């Protein structure tokens, strides 16, 4: 088949492109926001990219157009698609019909931690010799690609609650039909499509409805919202993780961590694992629990995580110069910002300053939904630098007045970069957080330091 993918440089749609190409299809695509790591991943496997959404990109004979959820009615290419009667589908529907229909799907859902947990799980299964397929909203360093078909019946998918397409407003994850489902946490997000928490809960309830009776749901033990969703109706086995009295738990400090599985075997593994921060530990627990459902022992899972290399743009080290380390991170929600700063502090110890750099780029951030929580999220940093993008309708300075730490705000990227470099000193760790390219700021900072 000859496919054209609209919105191909999104993390999900880029993964669809990789899978389609691996399956032998002719693949090309269009996007107006082309930036790494997805643009470089697609170029490396020879997928042609068209900049912009001109109707001419659909002028050749195509078997199907896969439409990303970034596309909307009124866009010239969408109007041409509909007027010309070209066959089209959504990314999640294509994935379900072409890849997932005969697989054991292990889906990772929740507001935070999906990419990290999915990457951990895929690596655990690989380490155990199960050769899984996967589609992840980032690029795991152990694989170098965000998606692959795999050579077994197992497929790991990052199950996003964002809507499917302009013609299908259900969450993406309702298409996936998982047999193993992780529910990590649930908070209000995606204010551009969900009016309130009730709307989000409803979509997660629809997901729970698709898990078979012989399937398993791995649920965070300390999430009241997850409990509320499960109380709406659940027909599958449930295992809780995270709390000390749950089926899956972890305790101890970095010198000696014990991972416990309270099952018929009562497994536990103790060691000096490098599991920095509570959120990292919970993501690792969830991955171990999901792997256990397909027969991987706890000992194997912990061993796999011992050599897991992480994910691009998840506290990824860009480089070190003048004894200053620069990191790139995808955090864009207050909970994720706080977790990233806590993990970095845990990683570097008590010496050296943590410097936070943040771009309020997500739709929820732009709408001001998380404005009141931003200041508290940044208290884990010794100093913060914020970018004030054009058109932001709420006041960054007012939102961060109570951080108790120095906060610098700039409306120009170059000025922001100059201000950051001027404040840095040996021993600092700088983490740049954005769910977009941030005009290449992590690399620019590192270059300026060099």
The one-digit pLDDT tens for each residue of the chain (450 residues) are: 999 999 998 889 999 999 999 999 999 999 987 666 677 778 888 898 888 998 989 988 999 999 999 999 999 999 999 999 999 999 999 999 999 999 999 999 998 889 999 999 999 999 999 999 999 988 898 998 899 999 999 999 999 999 999 999 999 999 999 999 999 989 887 778 889 999 999 999 999 999 999 999 999 998 899 999 999 999 999 999 988 888 998 888 766 788 889 876 678 888 777 787 788 889 999 999 999 999 999 999 999 998 998 888 888 889 998 899 999 988 878 888 888 898 888 888 888 999 999 998 887 777 877 788 888 889 989 999 999 888 888 888 888 887 788 889 888 999 999 999 999 999 999 999 998 888 889 999 999 888
- DSSP-derived pairing of the beta strands 324-329 and 316-321: antiparallel
Look at residue 373 in the predicted model and tell me its pLDDT. 84
Look at residue 254 in the predicted model and tell me its pLDDT. 62
Using an 8 Å Cβ cutoff, are 77 and 55 in contact?
yes
Q: Which residues in 150-169 are b (16+ Cβ under 10 Å) and which e?
A: bebebbbbbbbbbbbbbebe
Look at residue 45 in the predicted model and tell me its pLDDT. 85
Domains of the chain: 2-91 (3.40.50.720), 102-306 (3.40.1190.10), 316-449 (3.90.190.20)
pTM of this prediction? 0.83
Look at residue 277 in the predicted model and tell me its pLDDT. 77
């Amino acid at each position: 088949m000859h496919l054209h993918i609209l919105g191909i440089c999104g993390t999900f749609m880029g993964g669809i492109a990789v899978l389609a190409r691996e399956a032998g299809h002719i693949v090309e695509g269009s996007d107006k926001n082309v930036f790494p790591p997805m643009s470089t991943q697609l170029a490396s496997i020879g997928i042609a990219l068209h900049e912009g959404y001109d109707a001419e990109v659909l002028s050749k004979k195509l078997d199907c157009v896969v439409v990303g959820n970034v596309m909307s009615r009124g866009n010239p290419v969408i109007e041409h698609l509909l007027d010309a009667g070209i066959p089209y589908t959504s990314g999640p529907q294509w994935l379900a019909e072409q890849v997932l229909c005969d697989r054991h799907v292990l889906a990772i859902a929740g507001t935070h931690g999906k990419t990290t947990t999915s990457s951990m799980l895929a690596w655990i299964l690989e380490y155990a010799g199960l050769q899984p397929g996967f589609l992840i909203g980032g690029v795991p360093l152990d694989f170098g690609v965000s998606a692959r078909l795999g050579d077994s019946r197992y497929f790991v998918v990052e199950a996003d609650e964002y809507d499917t397409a302009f013609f299908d407003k259900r969450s993406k994850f309702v298409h996936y039909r998982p047999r193993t489902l992780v529910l990590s946490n649930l908070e209000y997000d995606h204010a551009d499509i969900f009016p309130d928490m009730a709307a989000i809960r409803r979509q997660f309830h629809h997901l729970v409805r698709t898990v078979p009776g012989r399937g398993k749901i791995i649920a965070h033990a300390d999430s009241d919202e997850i409990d509320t969703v499960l109380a709406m109706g659940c027909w599958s086995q449930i295992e809780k993780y995270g709390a000390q009295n749950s089926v899956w738990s972890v305790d101890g400090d970095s010198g000696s961590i014990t991972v416990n599985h309270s099952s018929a075997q009562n497994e536990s593994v103790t060691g000096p694992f490098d599991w920095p921060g509570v959120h990292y530990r919970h993501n690792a627990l969830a991955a171990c629990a999901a792997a256990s459902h397909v027969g991987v022992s706890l000992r194997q899972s912990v061993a796999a995580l011992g050599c897991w290399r992480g994910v691009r743009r998840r506290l990824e080290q860009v480089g070190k110069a003048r004894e200053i380390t620069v990191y790139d991170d995808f955090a864009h929600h207050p909970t994720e910002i706080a977790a990233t700063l806590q993990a970095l502090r845990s990683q570097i110890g008590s010496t050296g300053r943590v410097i936070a750099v943040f771009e309020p780029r997500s739709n929820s951030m732009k709408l001001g939904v998380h404005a009141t929580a931003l200041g508290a999220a940044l208290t884990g940093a010794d100093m913060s630098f914020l970018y004030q993008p054009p058109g932001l309708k709420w006041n960054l300075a007012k939102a961060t007045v109570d951080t108790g730490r120095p906060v610098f705000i700039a409306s120009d990227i170059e000025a922001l970069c100059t201000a950051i470099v001027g404040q840095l000193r040996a021993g600092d760790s700088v983490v740049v957080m954005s769910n977009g390219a941030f005009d290449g700021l992590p690399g620019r900072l590192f270059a300026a330091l060099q």
